[in-house]
A and B are shown apart, each in its own frame.
Chain A
Amino acid sequence: MEELELVAGLRERRDDAVRTLLERYRALFFHCIGSFEADPAARDDLHQEVVLYVLERLDAGSFDPEKGSFGTWLYRVTWCRCVDLKRKAGARRTPKLTPAGDKVPERADLAPGPGEEAGTEEIGAIVQRGMAHLEAEDQRLLLLRYVDARTLIEIGAELGISVEQTKYRLKRAATSLRRVLLNDFAIEEAVR
């Protein structure tokens, strides 16, 4: 079945077109969904959700064959839907509930509470101690990225390396920091 025929069939909800969509693009759907869900049952649910959304988008005329192939459009729609759903699920997991009868301020106070502030200071001290044990380049990378909020392009330009090399080395630096922190835990427990 040709792409345009498939798209027309999907808009008409023809069984053969839907079957072709599910079979032909199964690997594509699950490649994308697999990055967001590890649980097979959740993957199946997400697959169903995404397929229905794809059909909705097709009905809305979102696919334009002149802009690219159906597979490319499908992958983008699937990926964007997965991100949307994960964001929604994340927001649902951390609801801000207020007991009934509480006075809700007109504007939320975004400043951290005293306990939160103390916790932040403590973790900050742990991270700074850990960073002191890292190699100079790793320290520099983490400082540029997280303390100065520099972009990968800017960091790469400053260090004279490519963006991909910057990504790789940043990941390595973050792992080194975690290794130091885990090592500190082990030492602390041994002393206790």
Chain B
Amino acid sequence: MSGDPRENPERQAPLHGAASDSGPAMKNTSNGPRLLPAELQNDPKAAHDALLHWDAQDEQILRLLARHPEHGGRLHTLQRADGWLRQRAADAIVARNHPGASGPGPDLLACPTPDELYDFAGGPGAVPLVRERVLAIDRHLAACQACDGFAATLATAPPAALLVGADGSLEQLPAPRLHPRGAPAPVRRFPVRRVLVPLAAAATLVLAVGVWRAFTPVATRAAWPAAPVLRGETAHALVWPRGRVLERSPAVERFVPALAAALPFEVAAESGPVRIQLFRTAGGAFDEPQLVAEWVDGAGSPPALAAGHYTWKAWTKERGLEVELGSRDFEVLRDEALLRELAAILEGGGDDAGVRAVACLDARGFRADARALARTLPASPERDAYLGRAPGR
């Protein structure tokens, strides 16, 4: 070890050069694994690791853990234990500031401003704070988990800005030269073994997979679309529509009559009436949204929407107070080719024509329409699972 006070005490110094772990700031957040939701359900060790490093998990993982019959209680206790420790720190800060106590400086329980926290945590271009303020913020972090977490996000330096390519200057860069000017490029013999042997192996593998698939009996050729692997927020109250939506045009009525009904607006589990406002935008960042329609869910219905960009906002009432549920964007598109494709699938007939049409819409990103079409199909466990799955992000 080099004796550098910033070095990691748990690691050996590398053989050559400066210590690799003597960076500007060691990350004091957990190095615990960031998990996929499915892993939590199937792997007890993954769930244990997630609990052990619960403060490094995102909100979706925490919600999954909290809902679990077994892990939920454990998570709650671990969080309360952390809260209890931080409350002790807060009590100590209050006691130190109590009149008559001889405190070392102006302690605080109120959170510091983001600018102060940035300077304290040493973000790029941080301005040194006076020592008393540093000590006060340091002490505050013992009592406040949120600020502690914010400060930890500055442990890794940001990437450098992309300086080429943004204004076409990429083309102006000199092309890399593989060989020194003047020196002839070496002539090499065709590497038979290095190229042909892997090619032959790959061809055999492809052939084997093809033969296996051709002779494997398949129960049904169509399958309901599988849920994509998603991480992150899933509890956004405004669920559908989102992403791409087909315009309800005369062509829709002709080709896919099941989609001719008005687009349903779905809000997650709200007990009270939901007020919805629909705005139209030009799709740009600086456009002023224009109010298109406003209705109360259940007492009104959305209008027919022309192609374009839209944003919808929703409010509900909690104990007499109106609470905003959030906003979500979607885009209404006219896609005649897709409609013809859907019509061909549906006209082709077969038991699974509807499922294939749903899968087609889902694969093209028209997932709100895929759900609308799925609702018109006969009920089945697969259909209900499809309609009941979390939309993810």
Is this pair of chains taken from one and the same complex? yes
Q: Is the interface of A mostly helix, strand, loop or mixed?
A: helix
Contacts of A170 in B (CB 8 A): 28
* Nearest residue, chain B, Cβ from A19: B166
Contacts of B139 in A (CB 8 A): 149-151
Check A175–B59 contact: CB distance below 8 A: no
Check B125–A40 contact: CB distance below 8 A: no
Task: Indicate which residue in B53, B111, B142, B285 contacts A145 across the interface (CB closer than 8 Å).
Answer: B142
Any A CB within 8 A of the CB of B279: no
Residue interface mask B229-252, A partner, CB < 8 A = 1: 001110010000000000000000
Q: A41-B233, A167-B26, A177-B81 are in contact. Are A68 and B89 (CB under 8 A)?
A: no
Q: Which chain B residues in 72-113 approach chain A with CB under 8 Å?
A: 73-74, 77-78, 80-90, 92-93, 96, 107, 111
Check A97–B162 contact: CB distance below 8 A: no
A170 to B146, CA, bound (A): 17
Check B6–A164 contact: CB distance below 8 A: yes
B382 to chain A, nearest CB (A): 26
Binding site for B on A (CB under 8 A): 1, 13, 16, 18-20, 23-28, 31-32, 35-42, 48, 51-52, 68-69, 71-73, 75-76, 79-81, 83-84, 86-87, 90, 95, 97-100, 119-120, 123-124, 126-127, 130, 142, 145-154, 161-165, 167-171, 174-175, 177-179, 181-182, 185
Binding site for A on B (CB under 8 A): 5-10, 25-26, 28-30, 48, 51-54, 58-60, 73-74, 77-78, 80-90, 92-93, 96, 107, 111, 114-115, 117-118, 123-125, 134-135, 138-139, 142-143, 146, 150, 153-154, 156, 158-163, 165-167, 231-233, 236, 285-286, 318-321, 323, 393
Q: Provide 12 A-B residue pairs closer than 8 Å at the C-beta atoms, listed in order of the A residue.
A: A23-B162, A23-B166, A79-B114, A80-B114, A86-B146, A95-B323, A123-B77, A123-B84, A163-B5, A169-B9, A178-B54, A179-B52
Q: A20-B167, A86-B146, A100-B320 are in contact. List 18 more A-B contacts (CB 8 A).
A: A23-B162, A23-B166, A31-B156, A38-B233, A48-B285, A76-B118, A79-B114, A80-B115, A97-B319, A98-B319, A146-B85, A146-B86, A149-B92, A149-B96, A151-B138, A152-B138, A178-B81, A182-B78
